Structure 1
Amino acid sequence: MKNIFKLHFFVILFFVSAISLPAIQAQKRNVIDSLNSRLANSSGEDRASTLLALAKVYQNKDQKKTIKYAERVIELSEKINDQVNIGRAHTLIGDAYIITGKYKESAKHFEIAKTIFSTIKSEKDEANLYRYMGELYLKTHDDQNAKEYYHKSLTICKKINDTDGIAWSMNGLIEIYSDDGKNEKAKSFAEEALNFAKILNDNNLQINLHAKIADLIAKQNGSIEEVSGHHEKALSIAKRIDNPRAISGITMRRALFFSRRGKYDEGQKYYLEALKVCQKHGYYKNIINIYTNLGITALIVKGDYQKSLEYFGNALEISKQVEDQENEASLLGMLGAVHIEQGNYQKGIELLYESLVFYEKSNDKRELPGIYNNIGEAFFLLNDYKMAEENYKKSLAIFKEKNRVTGMMVANLNLGRTKVKQKEFTTAISYLDQVYNEFDENTSPRQILLYYDAMAECMRSQGKNTEALTYLNKALEMDKELGKLKKVAIELYTRLGMIYYELEDYKKSEHFFQKSLKLSLETKSRTEIQNNYFWLSKCYEKLNEHEKGLLYYKKYTSIKDSIFSLNKIKQIADIQIKYDTDKKEKEILLLQKEKEYQAILFNSQKDELYRVNLETDLEKERKERDIIQLKAAQRKSLIDQLNMENSLQIAEKEIQNNQIKIQKSQLAREAILRNIAIAGGILALLASFFTIMYYRQRLKTQKIIAKKEIEAINANHDGREKERERIAKELHDGIGGNLAAIKLDLNKLSGVSDSDLQTIIKNVNGTYNEVRALSHHLIPPKILNNTFEKLINDYLTDLSKTCTFAIHNDFFPSSGFNQLEDTIKIELYRITQELMSNIIKHAYAERVDLQFTILDETIKLIIEDDGIGFDVEKSSKGIGLSNISSRTKTLGGTMYIDTLRNRGTVIEINIPFIEKKVIAKRNLLKRSVSQFLNVINF
């Protein structure tokens, strides 16, 4: 029944609007025609008043005409010295510039009007001006000044009993009280002001108040119907009085409201409607906001990075045109977030810090938490969880201060994800519970899906895969919402693939990774594409589809190299260090000046002049510092230009020299050809003879050198292995036997309760095990009797029994390693032993991963640990690394080390792949060359 009445009401409202709108528009045209007719027959003060009336008629419809008529008012009024009309005209021009987003121009005109009205003491005009100034400060997020001027206007209006002015002043204060968290006071003001507006029949004021009441209801999680009701009322009045400024503003508010409630398609529809109106009337500020919000929807909801970059780029271009520095900073932060999502970490962090510097300087707490959150996300993706946590906490603190519930949910969710990575699961669940406790019927589907994903990862990281699947299945039930949120869907499908891989259900795992990869390719997220390639290569290896596994592994290594490197980590670290250093230097400089200033305050009045001078000097120094920085930039630009010009001159000289050399070369060549023509026959015979003699001698020498090198290498290798075997036998048969005997004797006494004796037995037992292990490591492995994969697995299995960290290893393909030359197997085995020995001694790791791969005729050994890392410059001279490097070079290979302090270590060794068949072919070739040389000698 309620719905029927509601429908009946809107039908009546539609017909009333349809009937009344043409009449109102005709009435407006009549007013404009009347004023134009009056203008044609007026002069002096009457003409200025008529022009001012025309400027007011166009105030909310056509700002260009408002400015044109107001400027003519100023021109006429200055001739007759009418200060009141001059002040009113400047006020109207200032308001027109607010609408078009040119705030600096607006402020200039308001200051002129303020000076005039304070001089002539026109209280009504002064109160009206203060309301416009309050709106300007509200638009530029200076809430303190906005509040001050709205209160000034309210005080004057109450004094002169201006009901209309009182209502408009209260209208301005509503948004300020709402932002301060004083929702009840804001609601009270809104209801009181709406009553005034209805009594006064002020349509524009009613539009403003219905819009603000809708915002208050939405902020308190009111129903969609209740919020939409106020929006419809405001929009109906705006259309009835033909106010495009209000129409675009209300439509934008509706778009924002529906987007926040998860109805993104409806939100986008209203944004595009508002954009048409704003573009038609030149509402630049609103155009910037619309493009920005469309970019956010494309990024967060649809995962369309290209579209979001396009929208943010459009908004940034317009911001630069209207010199809106605040929006420039905000958009730089958003562009930074997109680049980070795409894997362009260095570019993303540079943009975010550029934005952060602006907002920290202006202390704008509306935008700061979003910037901190995006910087935290960047460091999270870089695995720098300490820096990520620091920035997420800064974001959370400001959201709490401003009582922004949605923001607090985002920050708590990110802190929970970070704590999962740090393996602090109790703290992680505490943060995620705070997110869950804020859920209600108006919580967006995206927020719910992100919570399920975070909880699933928390359970998976603890080995609780069943609980993790419970959360992910809940997410899959929201398939309608999931289809709209590509970025969230990618994360969920990836998580499912990882869990099923760990449960050894490789078919399901491959299914979800393929779904994730499809969406990742659509969104062009390089980080997610790389992740899916890696897991798919592992899945296909387990499914014995080796060709597919190799294909995806090649794709993974290709994109991995393009996304990240050690140099990029250092560059990003340099950005952070530069930001911290600049910030500290500025703080130190200001603290020094403030200390000097405080010291002067304690002196007597005679030092007052010195204090003033010091303040002047401080300001002067600040300006000089800015000038020096500007000059330095100009000098750098000039130096770069001079260097470029110098380089061009050098290049021109080199070209000239080369041309001269070419000419000389041509002349010399002609002379040589002439000489060759004279004695060609004789020289040809001599050249042929000496060439044959030279190459025969050279082949003999190379053969002798190659033979000696092979003999030396074999002798060195055999001697080294024999010495190892001798030492191993001595350890095993001599010292090992003695220790074993001592151990047996001590074990006979183990019944004694003496703790010292038990300690000796324990130490002897440990020493015995170490000697036994050492002797086994020194004895060459039975290469001919075992496969290489079995040798490595047996070695690592024995090692895992005595070490404290987890060891994981992979062979790809496993059959390829059995075709290696025995010498390579032995050296590769020794290199593995040396690397594992270094990790045990120095790394303090919790996990070690070894990958043995044969790819593109190259043997790759990649060993990675999560230990403390080391300084390559200081450690490269150690015996262990020297031995590894020597063995690698002996095999004609290369070694790469990627490590940082407290970031773990990755060592990659590449050795040319030589099969036994290839060696046999080479031996055959050597014999053929030898026979050829014998023939020549003969």
Structure 2
Amino acid sequence: MVIYNQRLHFALLFLFLSFGLQAQIENKKTSFVHKNPVQTREEKAIADLYALYNKGDDKKAYVKAHSLLKTTKNNRSTACADLLLAYYFNKKAVIDSSIYYTQQALKFNTVVNDSLKNRLYALGYNLLAINYKKRGILGESKKWHLKGIDASQKYREKNLFYTHTHGLALVYSELGDYKNALKLFKQCLEYKEDPEIIYGSYINIGDIYAAQKEYELSNQYLNKANALCQQQNNNNCRAIIAISLAANFEAQHKKTEALRLYNEAIKIADANEYNQIALIARLNTGNMLLESKKYDQAKVIYLSGLDNALKLGLLHDQTVIYKALKEIAIAQEDYRNAYHYTNQYYKIQDSITHLQNQKEINELDVKYKTSQKEKEIEALQFENATRKLTLENQNEAIKNMRLQEEISNKVNENKILFFQSSSEKKRSEISLLKKDQQLKALEIDQQKKTRWLTIIAFLVLLIPITGLLFQYYKRLKAQRLLNSKQAEISSQKINGILKDQELKLIKASISGQDKERERISQELHDSIGGNLAAIKLQLNHMAGNNFSNMEKINLQLDETYQQVRSLSHTLLPKKFSQNKFCEVLESYLNNISAASALKISFLAYPKKGINEMSEGIQIEIFKIIQELLTNTIKHAKASQIEIQLNLVDGDLNVLFEDNGAGFNTSNYTPGIGYINLEARIKKLNGSFLIDSKLKRGTIVNIEIPSFEAIANPKKNPMKGIDLKDQLDELKNKI
């Protein structure tokens, strides 16, 4: 069970007091002392006091401040000395004394300068907020911080504004409102002029993340703060960070590291008389001993801590200690002490509640009395103002009477002169009006005449211009119609010419193919077929070992072999033997594209490997592409064709794509071209796939695997054996 789960909020408050407010004293002491170019003796004494305190010589500053209070009669010096004593007792965690001297400082804060008065109020409000927070009265602490923020904003005191913002964030953190607390602490990190506020914010952010069990993130912020504290050589800060890190280790069940850091914090706090920090470290150590069920050791630590909390007046710490002692007594079956500690716990809780309620009642009483006094003052001010107004009105009335008498005398004298001059003026005005009327009548007549003339001239010019514009519009319209019709006719003529050229090319290609086939069939039938028939007859008539006709048969086989060879050479285009395959194919496609409206793009990779294929495969690929082009020109009505040849690991891929009309592959009836294409691809031991849809074009994907096996009969004995090889085999058998 975690007895002291508030962890470090008191310690952080103390940290902020020790270096946050100390920095304020250093920054703001010029506001109290060095405002005038020439200092008095008391101003110099106050400056020396704050210099001693900021250097760390607290006791000397304390003694001098008391001696100054005994001798001075200046309210300003008294307020400054009281404020320094309030800081001193706050640092020593003597809360009652700190609150007393803070109230004394605010009481004697009667400086004429509003800015100086406001600064001292802001510092005093911060001390009150911190002291009430140490007592556990968080509502009061929040109230004084809000008043301090208002006071610091009034005169744009940036340092004091961030001081109170930091303190308000601590109150939110204590109340469990981590969202608003984090927001305010991160706002404080923007203030770069005071390093104490920065590493104080780092420590508090680390504690909030630790409370949310994000220990790695907490340690990151605590280590940032530790680095800054070591640069500033601030022992107070170092002690607090040691407690924070120890609490993180304790939450992660690393008790050895936690105890080491708590002991380190106790040593630093005892050496520098940081009473509350030492109390927190000891109570956290007692908490660990209580969790380990080391009740006697924990009880000793809690009792020593209770003595310190009673001396310092730390009510919240007392409730925590009494609660822990009650649990130890119950665990040791000491029910008498358990009952005693429980009663003490509830007494302190009641006293905290009573203090808060009593404070609110007193404040309401003060507010009521002040409001009554303000109303009385306002009534008196209103009466005085009305009396002043009546007196001023009477004086003004007397002055007005005198002025009216003088004016009436002058008016009587001027009336006669006025009537005489007015009659003469009226006569001259009447004559001038008559002349003006005559001139205006002439001007109106002239304006009417000029208007009519301009209207007539405009109409005379407008009628022929509109007629010309209408005629021009009609001509333009007729010309546009004529141009559009001529464009249509010319486009139709061009399309007709292109179609005629395409048909001529197709017809020439088909007729050439037909002639070539007819020639090949005749050649095979007449020469090669005859020779083979004669050889067959002679072989059938050979009897036994009669080899008399063997020489004649051998000659006929040689002749047939030569005929087959010459026929195969005639089938191979001459361009293939003289040029590279890709260049021949690209030239052929360019010729087709130039002679038609087709835009053909060709891509081969790698060209070197494709050019090195056997002539037989090149011829078949060439004829396959011819067949696909013929199909597209006849049926597809395409404007673009894309052909790709890709050779990958000995496999050849042919991709043929057009943007034509397409067709439905599900109800398609194969024609002669499709059958020829299928036969050629099958001959190459390949496969192909046709993907087409209406109005989307057609894609033909052909895969020819291991073309080397096709070219080399040893790798594939069932493919690639032509008529020449059969004759050689027959010859060898004979």
TM-score (norm 2): 0.42
Q: Which structure has more RCO (C-alpha within 8 Å, separation ≥ 6)?
A: 2
Higher radius of gyration, 1 or 2: 2
TM-score (norm 1): 0.33
